Amino acid sequence: MTTADAWTADELDNVRTTLRNTRLDLQLRTHNHPLPSPECGDVVDQADWASQVEFDALTFERDRMLLEQTEHVLDLLDRGLYGHCELCSTSIDKERLLAHPQATLCLTCAHASS
């Protein structure tokens, strides 16, 4: 990471605040995750209900995984390891992290692992 790309304390505080807010939102969404009832008045038929249950389950799983990733990145921040690729240890582009603060892989490793 060049000096121009180095994180300032204020920038890291902003990232930490963003991640904490994201974590709180995800905690609320995963904790208060209702499943639709087949007796629910806005469900027209069993197929619609089943589709909604599947969609809700996928949404819940995505939110749960993002919550885990957010908590992991907050831990990296606390340990001073934020911004370094977990596979190759190179610096992750600051622009990538500003766009996706939960990223833990550089673009090269992210493309290679997908």
At residue 34, the pLDDT reads 63
CB neighbours (10 Å) of residue 98? Answer: 13
At residue 33, the pLDDT reads 65
Residue range 3-32+48-113, CATH number: 1.20.120.910
Percent of the chain with pLDDT over 70: 85
pLDDT of 61 over the 80 cut: yes
Q: Quick one: average pLDDT of 30-48?
A: 67
At residue 46, the pLDDT reads 81
